[in-house]
Amino acid sequence: MSQETADRSLDFVFKSPSPAIKIEFQGGEPLLNFPIIRYVVEKAKERNREYGKDLQFVITTNMSLLTDEVLAFCLAHDIHLSTSLDGPEDLHNRNRPRPGRNGHQLTVEGIKKAQAVLGRDKVGALMTTTEASLSRVREIIDMYLALGIDGIFLRPLSPYGFAIKNRQAEKYNVDRWFEFYKEGLDYVLEINRQGHLFVELYASLIINKIFSPFGTGYVDLQSPSGMAISAIVYNYDGDIYAADEARMLAEMGEKKFRLGNVYQDNYEDVMTSDILLDTLEATLAESAPMCNDCGFLPYCGTDPVYHYATQKDAVGHKAFSGFCSKNMKIFRHIFTLLQDDPEARKILLSWVRP
CA distance 34 to 68: 12
CA distances, 260 to each of 105, 234, 270 (Å): 40, 10, 6
CB 227, min distance to ligand SF4, A: 16
Q: Which is nearer to ligand SF4, 132 or 294 (CB)?
A: 294
Segment 303 to 322, residues that bind ligand SF4, using CB under 6 A: 318
**CA atoms within a 13 Å half-sphere pointing along the CA-CB vector of 151:** 15
Give the interface segment with ligand SF4, choosing from 90-98, 138-146, 226-234, 288-296 (CB under 6 A): 288-296
Q: Applying CB under 6 A, which of residues 203, 328, 337, 347 lies at the interface with ligand SF4?
A: 328
- In terms of Cβ atoms closer than 10 Å to its own Cβ (0-12, 13-18, 19+), residue 123 is buried
Counting every residue written for the chain, the total comes to 354
Question: Contacts with ligand SF4: how many residues (CB under 6 A)?
Answer: 11
Shortest Å, Cβ 302 to ligand SF4: 7
CB of 319 to ligand SF4, least distance (A): 9
Residue 324 interacting with ligand SF4 (CB under 6 A)? yes
CA angle 139, 140, 141 (to 5 degrees): 90
- Pick one of 296, 306, 308, 351: the residue that binds ligand SF4 (CB under 6 A): 296
Q: Measured from the CB atom, is 331 or 351 closer to ligand SF4?
A: 331
Query: Min. distance of Cβ 304 from ligand SF4 in angstroms?
Result: 12
- Given candidates 113, 297, 335, 345, which one binds ligand SF4 under the rule CB under 6 A? 297
The nearer residue to ligand SF4, 78 or 286, going by C-beta atoms, is: 286
What is the Cα–Cα distance from 150 to 224, expressed in whole angstroms? 31
At 339 the three-state DSSP class reads helix
58 three-class SS:
strand
**Residue numbers 207-246 binding ligand SF4 by CB under 6 A:** none
Measured from the CB atom, the residue of 59 and 324 that comes closer to ligand SF4 is 324
Closest distance of CB 33 from ligand SF4, Å: 38
End-to-end CA distance of the chain: 39
205 near ligand SF4, rule: CB under 6 A: no
Strand partners, 286: none
Count the helix, strand and coil residues of the chain and give each as a percent rounded to the nearest 5.
55, 10, 35
290 near ligand SF4 (CB under 6 A): yes
Nearer to ligand SF4, 298 or 342 (CB): 298
Determine which helix (DSSP H) or strand (DSSP E) holds 104, and give its type and residue range.
helix 103-118
Q: What is the DSSP string of 25-39?
A: E-SS-GGGGHHHHHH
Beta carbons of 198 and 191 less than 8 angstroms apart:
yes
Residue closer to ligand SF4, measured from CB, 82 or 325: 325
- Which is closer to ligand SF4, CB of 127 or CB of 221? 221
C-beta closer to ligand SF4: residue 247 or 318: 318
Least Å distance, CB 291 to ligand SF4, is: 3
Chain residues that interact with ligand SF4, rule: CB under 6 A? 285, 290-291, 294, 296-297, 300, 318, 324, 327-328
